[in-house]
Structure formats: structure tokens, C-alpha cells
Structure 1
Amino acid sequence: MFGISIYLSNDNDFETTIQQASKNGFSLIFSSLHIPEENPANYHQLLTRLGAAAKEDNMQLILDISTESLAHIDLTIDNAERLTELGVTGLRVDYGLTIDEIAKLATKIKVYLNASTIDEPFLKSLLQAGIDISQVEAFHNYYPKPHTGLDVPFFKQTNEFLHSYGLKVAAFVPGDEEKRQPLFEGLPTLEKHRHTHPFVAALELETLGIDHVYIGDPSLQTQTIEQFSAFAKEQTILLDCELSKELDSRIQQHLLQPDNNRMDPARDLIRLEKSRPALGKIDIAPLPTNVRPIGSILIDNQLFGRYQGEITIATRDLPDEPKSNTIGHLTPESIAILPFIKPGQILRLRQYN
């Protein structure tokens, strides 16, 4: 599942942001009670608004807390479950809580632990304290300061360990529109994602054992929202491309409709399964040039015999092939998606403007 991050400031239009996110397939919200840049005196009023908006659009709201931050809204760990009355569905606990306090809290509300700092003795102590593990998930941090994000080997190993205990795991990717103060350097969990396209980063997190992906920064570009929405609602990957201006209208019309990678995936190509049955009877003449770098969109011409009409996408640089015409190219951001396209994956090309 995909989530957004909303921070408790007076200039934040929670209601509109949450309504739009819900319409686009996002189902989770992360917020925090201990952000140094915010005024804690406003927390209760703002959290009341945020919780009401989350309930209105049926979105889960996970709130990052500590014993100190709870005091800002006149609560303690003993009555923190009262936050459910405001629409909070889970609490992320990072520091300042004992094993017994966490176990007790999990009897009242879902608890999210800091994924990056959990070790086996800690989990065993929680289990010995009688915690219901179904009420517990793990949640990695985001890292505002450049070069402080996690590295992939540690991250993957940690996620495998957490899954072995039955815990689901969440992590962050950066946004690509408004960046979060105070450094405006993106809010990723993995350092390699600090300047990576958010949707590409989200797909990679899935391969590394992440169950829930949150956008750390406040917003995404419209085209990126559409990619997350298509994937959340229809499991469809949108690939941005530039198509040849001389392209046959019948071929272009098919290209812009959903298709899927074959279940027996090729090493060098994405093979669009529906293309040959739909386009095989069109007489496609060879082109004089047919350079095929990675990201090239190709259609087999009449020289390929019964393969005429099959549309493919090069997943690596390929040699010239007179039996295949180059009819377009993916954008660099969409080329970065290619390694994460699975067998049978639904795809749809989108012309880049």
C-alpha cells in the first residue's frame, strides 16, 4: 500500500490533500508529534483536523510519538489510545518507551516500531512480555540530511529479519515537487533514493521487502501521482515515452492502451503480449535505420515473418536489426523502471509532453 506524509502546520490544507490522495489510491497517512520545525502548542487543534479528514476518507493515520511529545497534547503513554478518538489508527514509537509500555500499548492500538533499530533480543523481550505480534509492524526512518540514509545490504537484511518474525515493514521515498524543510534535500529511507524518481524508488523498495511505501516529502508532481494511482488501483505501470511522428495511427492507438509483459519474460526485451494479435495483419515495411539503445520501443516488420506486429521495449542496448523498426523511446525516468517490470505485468505507454 502507498501512503503520504502530512505535517502539523497551520498552512497545511489537510482536507484537500487527503481527499485527493484517497481518490488516487493512497490509503495511509504518516504524521508526527515531534518535528522540531513545528509549534507543539498547535498540535491538538491540528491533529483533530487531520484525524477528522483521515476518517472522512477512510485512510489509516499513523502518528510518530514519544513520551515527551505526548505531553504536548496532555496525554501519557498510559492513555495514548485516546488518540483513536481523533482518528489515529496506529502509533509509531521510537524512543523513551519500555518493553512493558510498548506491550501494554499494543493491547489498545496498533504499534509501529523503528525498523532500523529492532534486534532479536528486543523482539524476544516483547514476546516474553506477552505482546500480540499481529498488533505490531515495523517502520523505517526517513533521513533529511544528505549521506545519512541507509545502505541497501543493511536495509534488505533488516527487512528479511523482520519478516521472519511476521512483521510488515514500511519505508519512505522522496517526493518530486515540494521538498520538506529544513534542508529541502528529500526524505528517503535509502540514501540511493535521495534524487531518484519517487515511483522508481517505490518499485525498488518492494523488491527489497517493503510492504508499505510512504512519500516522505509533502507532494508529488501530477504525472507521478498518476503513476502511483495506476499502480495502486489497477497494478498498471505507466511508462512515459516519445513516439515517432510518422507512426501509423492504428499502431499508436494500440500503444497507448494497456498491454502486458509476457509471462515468459525475455532477457533483452519487454514483449507486449497483445500486440501481435492486434497488429499482425498490418503491412509494416522496414525502416532504413533501426538503432536500438535501451528504452527503444520497437515493432517487428514484414521481414520477421509471423512475428510482424509484435511490439517490444529494449531493456538493454541491442545491435541493429533490419527486421525490427524503432518507433519511439522511453524517457530516462521510465527506463529506470524497466528492471522492476515482472512477468505478466500490466503496462501502459504515456506520451511525454
Structure 2
Amino acid sequence: MFGISVYLSSDNDFETTIQHASKNGFSLIFSSLHIPEENPANYRHLLIRLGATAKTHDMQLVLDISAESLAHIGLTIDNADQLTNLGVTGLRVDYGLTTEEIAKLAKKIKIYLNASTIDSTFLEALIQAGVDISQVEAFHNYYPKPHTGLDIPFFKQTNDFLHLHGLKIAAFVPGDGEKRQPLFAGLPTLENHRHSNPFAAALELETLGVDNIYIGDPALQARTTEQFAAFAKDGMLLLDCQLAPNLDPEIQKHLLRPDNNRMDPARDLIRLEKSRPALGKIDIAPIPSNKRHIGSILIDNNLFGRYQGEITIALRDLTAEQKTNIIGQVTPESIAILPFIKPGQALQLRQHN
């Protein structure tokens, strides 16, 4: 599932942000009670607004807490479960809480633990304290400071361990709209993702064992939001591209329709399975050929015989081929999505000017 991050700032329009996210396939919200840049005196009334809006749109709300931050809203660890009355569905606890305190909370509300600090000894201590592990999930941090995000080998190893013990896992990707203070350098879990397309980063997190993916920063660009929405609704991957000028209208019309990668995936190409039946009877003359770069959109011409009309996308740099015409190019941001296109994957090209 996909989630957004909403921070307790007095100038934050929670209602519009959450309504928009809900309409676009996001079902989770992350927020925090200990952000140094915010005024804790405002937390309670802002949290009431946030929780009410989350309830209205049937979105889960996970709140990052500590014993100190709870005091800002007049609560303690002993009665933190009262936050459920405000629409909070889970609490992320990181530091300052004992095993016994976590166990007591877990009997009343879903608990999310720092994924990087969970080990077998800690899990055993929780079980001995009476915790139902089904009420516990793992939640990675985001890292505002450049070069401090996690590396993939450690991340994968950690996730494998957590899944082995039956825990679901959450992590963050950066946004590509408004960036979060104080450094405005993205809020990813993995350092590799700091300047990545958020949607491509989310797809990679899925391959690394993450169950729930949150946008760490406050906003996404509209086109990126559409990518998340299409995938959440239909499992559709939207790929931005630039098409060649003076392209045959019938070919262009088909290019911008939904299609699927073939179930028997090629090593070097995405093969759009509906293209040859639709375009095979069009006489496609060869055009001078150049090297086919990764992300090149191609159509087989009449020199390819019965393959004429098949549209493909290059997954790597390929030599020139006189039997194949280059008719477009996937954008660099969408090239990052290509490795995650599975057999039979639904996808759709869209023109990006």
C-alpha cells in the first residue's frame, strides 16, 4: 500500500492534501509528534484536525511518538492509546520506551518499531512480555541529511530477517514536489533514492521486501501522483515518452493506449503484445537507423516480415537495426521504471512535452 506524510504545521491544509491523496490510491498517512522545526504547542489541535480528516477518508494514520512528545499533548505512555479516539490507528515508537511499555501499548493499539534496531533478542523479549507479534510492524526511518540513508545490502538483509519473523515492513521514498525542511534534500530511506523518481523508487522498495511505502516529503508532482494512482488502481505502469515528429497517426494512437509486456519477457526488449495484431497490416517503410539506446521506442518495419508492426522498448543499448524504426524515446525518469516491468505487466506510454 502507498502512504503520504503529513506534518503538524499550522499552515498545512490537511483536508485538501488527504482528500487528494485518497482519490489517487493512497491509503496510509504518517505523521510525527517530534519534529524540531514545528511548535509542539500546536500539536493537539492540529492532530485533532488530522485525525478527523483521516477518519473521513478511511485512511490509516501512523503517529511517530516518544514519551517526551506525548507530554506536549497531555498524554503519557500509560494512556497513549487514547489517540485512537482522535483517528490514530498506530504508533511508531523509536527511543525512550522500555520493552514493558511497548508491550503494554501493543495490547491496545498497533505498534510500529524502528526496523533497523529490531533483533532476535528484542523480539523474544517482546513475546515474553506478552506481545502479539501480529500487532507489531517494522518501520524504517527516513534520512533528511544527504549521504546518511541506508545502503541496499543492509536494507535487504534487515528486511529478510523481519519477514522471516512475520513482520510487515514500511519505508520511505522522497517526493518530487515540495521538499521538507530543514535541509530540503528529500526524505528517503535508501540513499540511492534521494534524487530518484519517487514512483521508480517505490517499485524498487517493493522488490526489496517493503509492504507499505510512504512519500517522506510533503508533495508529489501531478504526473508522479498519476503514476501512483494508476498502479494502485489497476497495476498499470505509466511511462513518459517523447514521440518522433510526423509519426503515422494510427501508430501514434495505438502507442498511447494501454498494453502489456508479453508473458514470455525478452532479455533486451519490452514487447507490447497488442501492437502486432493491431498494426501488422500497415505497410511500415524502413527509415535510416541509428543505435538504439536504452528507452528507445521501436517499431518493426516491412523488412521484418511477419513481425512488422510490433512495438518494443529497448531495455539496454542495442546496435542499429535496419528492420526496426526508432519512433520515440522514454524519458530518463521513466527509464528508471523499466527494470521493474514484469511478465504480462500492464503499461501505458504517455506523451511528455
Give the corresponding residue for 2:123: 123
**1:240-280 CA distance string (max 9 Å, x none):** 00011121111111111110111111000000111111111
Report the Cα distance in structure 2 between the residues aligned to 1:230 and 1:290, rounded to whole angstroms. Answer: 33
Report if aligned partners of 2:289, 2:324 keep a CA contact under 8 Å in 1.
no
Say whether 1:38 aligns with 2:38.
Answer: yes
Give the corresponding residue for 2:108: 108
- Secondary structure in 2 aligned to 1:157? helix
Say whether 1:324 aligns with 2:346.
Answer: no
Task: Structure 1 unaligned segments of length 5 or more: list them.
Answer: none
- Secondary structure in 1 aligned to 2:78? coil
Give the corresponding residue for 1:275: 275
- Structure 1 runs of 4+ aligned residues shifted over 4 Å read none
Which has the larger displacement, 310-319 or 288-297?
288-297
Say whether 1:50 aligns with 2:36.
Answer: no
Give the corresponding residue for 1:310: 310
Which has the larger displacement, 126-135 or 79-88?
126-135
- Secondary structure in 2 aligned to 1:147? coil
Report if aligned partners of 1:103, 1:129 keep a CA contact under 8 Å in 2.
yes
Report the Cα distance in structure 2 between the residues aligned to 1:108 and 1:252, rounded to whole angstroms. Answer: 56
Amino acid at match of 2:348: R
> 1:290, CA displacement in angstroms?
4.0
Report the Cα distance in structure 2 between the residues aligned to 1:120 and 1:16, rounded to whole angstroms. Answer: 42
Report the Cα distance in structure 2 between the residues aligned to 1:106 and 1:155, rounded to whole angstroms. Answer: 25
Give the corresponding residue for 2:167: 167
The 5 A counterparts of 1:1-353 are 1-353=1-353
Amino acid at match of 2:61: L
Amino acid at match of 1:139: F
**1:176-215 CA distance string (max 9 Å, x none):** 1111111111111111111111111111111111111101
> 1:32, CA displacement in angstroms?
0.2
Report the Cα distance in structure 1 between the residues aligned to 2:290 and 2:25, rounded to whole angstroms. Answer: 40
Report if aligned partners of 1:290, 1:324 keep a CA contact under 8 Å in 2.
no
- Secondary structure in 1 aligned to 2:117? coil
- Secondary structure in 1 aligned to 2:289? coil
- Secondary structure in 1 aligned to 2:77? coil
* Count of residues in correspondence between the two structures: 353
**1:131-163 CA distance string (max 9 Å, x none):** 111111100000111111111100000000000
Report the Cα distance in structure 2 between the residues aligned to 1:91 and 1:251, rounded to whole angstroms. Answer: 52
Amino acid at match of 2:156: K
Report the Cα distance in structure 1 between the residues aligned to 2:134 and 2:251, rounded to whole angstroms. Answer: 50
Amino acid at match of 1:83: L
RMSD between aligned alpha carbons? 0.8
Report the Cα distance in structure 2 between the residues aligned to 1:318 and 1:291, rounded to whole angstroms. Answer: 6
> 1:340, CA displacement in angstroms?
1.2
Report if aligned partners of 2:300, 2:324 keep a CA contact under 8 Å in 1.
yes
Identity, % of aligned pairs?
79
Report if aligned partners of 1:291, 1:326 keep a CA contact under 8 Å in 2.
no
> 1:104, CA displacement in angstroms?
1.6
Report the Cα distance in structure 1 between the residues aligned to 2:120 and 2:78, rounded to whole angstroms. Answer: 26
Report the Cα distance in structure 1 between the residues aligned to 2:158 and 2:132, rounded to whole angstroms. Answer: 21
Task: Structure 2 unaligned segments of length 5 or more: list them.
Answer: none
Amino acid at match of 1:339: P
TM-score for both structures, normalised by structure 1: 0.99
**1:284-338 CA distance string (max 9 Å, x none):** 1111224311110001111111111110000001111111111100111111111
Report if aligned partners of 1:241, 1:328 keep a CA contact under 8 Å in 2.
yes
**1:93-151 CA distance string (max 9 Å, x none):** 00111112111211111100000111111011111212111111100000111111111
